[in-house]
Structure 1
Amino acid sequence: MQVMLAPMEGVVDHLMRDMLSRVGGFDLCVTEFIRVVDQKLPKRVFYRLCPELLNGGLTPAGTPVRVQLLGQSPEYLAENAVRAVELGSHGVDLNFGCPAKTVNKSKGGAVLLKETETLYQILKAVRGAVPAEHIVSAKMRLGFEDKSLAIDNALALQEGGANLLVVHARTKTEGYRPPAYWDWIAKIREHLHIPVVANGEIWQADDAQNCMAQANTDLIMLGRGALAMPNLAQVVRGHQMPMQWQDVKQLLLDYSGYEIFGDKGRYYPNRIKQWLGYLQRQYSQAEELFNQIRTLRQSDEIVNVLSR
């Protein structure tokens, strides 16, 4: 069994990766996407989104981190993939799953699931450029508007050279609405010989077991579920019981004082409110706490409420 932490744009930054990897249970973290358009990006862009590159590509807890790229140009994605691994990324991941309208309008993310040949050409270019010892993985949804190209797209990514495929078990149109169609991952696996990771709608240990059974894989990726229950990775492994609220509150406090790679958490007030939105799914106390701090804008004010 392997458990990976999903890339979540604007949510799972290096501070959150550090906190969740300290809680433990993750084999790999994937970064928020780096947008590639028509140039080889400077090193500072990679360090900003993935400061773990300055630490051997590891979180402070020692969990490997993989840079994710998003774009539509095979040539420039290949150049930036090479730069990522040269800087210390543990392989490179390609995003074909982002459902955001602004991203899709600029021909990035899930919209490329309409263009099977483009998927193949991107993977072929990236795999051809990145040294063989580094993993090239891809993350896709089951499709854009429907699932008619799910298997063709997965095959194109494999034939292009992907070493591993993560499948979010919904289309772009389905967004994040339950259910996740885990059985479709099993259908895809029947046609592939590379490892396939299941992602989507895993909130509890039972969800993880059902997902792995329906998807016919023991590889899973956790996203929103790990924010709703910070030790979910340990829970699905059977190593811990769900974290108690008092321990979660201490994590919220710890988050305020984080200083990692020179970053003191500039966005703490907004991120804490965002995080509480996810925590409300598992902890009733999170809603009450959110109501207490929702109008506060200063970190020290929020810390005072948490401390009380």
Structure 2
Amino acid sequence: MQISHLTRRFGDVVAAADVSFEVPAGQMVGFVGGNGAGKTTTMRMIMGVLAPTSGEVLWDGAPTTREVRARFGYMPEERGLYPKQPVLGQLVYLGQLHGMTASAARQRATELLGRFGLGDRLDAKVETLSLGNQQRAQIIASVLGDPVALVLDEPFSGLDPAAVDQMSELLREHTARGVPVLFSSHQLELVDRLCDSIVVLHHGRVVASGSSEQLRATAPLRYRLTTTGDTGWVRGAPGITVVDLDGPSVLVEPADEDAAQRLLADAAARGPVREFSLIRPSLSEIYREVAA
């Protein structure tokens, strides 16, 4: 699935501006950004809920059609299950909308509800479920009907760690079959752990994309040096920028690896070195850097 130059304007407001990225077959892509970044608007355009001002979504190299999008599994930002209707009955109905027979939809929905701890709540109204269980049911709705792609808006919101692991396993089962999965989340460490690649949106524009390792490679080179004495002398070291200094420990940005190794040699000449380690930024730190 390819998102090609999607733009959406609401009057003078540009909610998404020339958004382009790819969700390859069998891969999980994390879509991250702050509130109002344009993630939900982009997902709605992918699903045809919202018409783009310009740009297009491609499937197998051709523009997506209504028939193709009908085979996508979608979890919207506004949860779509009716609160006063029974869980299983709604899932069967949604499965039929995706072309399943009633019996096949009932069998598959019952299987998934049982798998995720809702086997004894088949006839319960949605509003009687906890928020986490409502979220489970909503995710189950998105994977009914053997979808060829999944587009999920905040699927892990409100889930406890055990449920996150269950849903992660479910999504991996789909990617193992070649299904492309796009999901948005504010849980950056979860995105870092699950996703093959990440797209960062800021003010409606893609400001970074790539695997976690590729994004980390764009971050400044930083080392932590810890000695047995005060490290104030590091401020005068050539090719070294001090980021943070606290007595025997200092965080630095060397101009290059040669400068880093010179710093290590200078420190060793002054006494014991307790630590000299490359600092790998977290996805949260990378996000703050690119979205500044």
Is TM > 0.5 for Structure 1 vs Structure 2? Answer: no
Max radius of gyration: which structure? 2
What TM bracket, shorter-length normalisation? 0.3 to 0.5
| TM-score under structure 2 length normalisation | 0.37
More helix by share: 1
| TM-score under structure 1 length normalisation | 0.35
More strand by share: 2
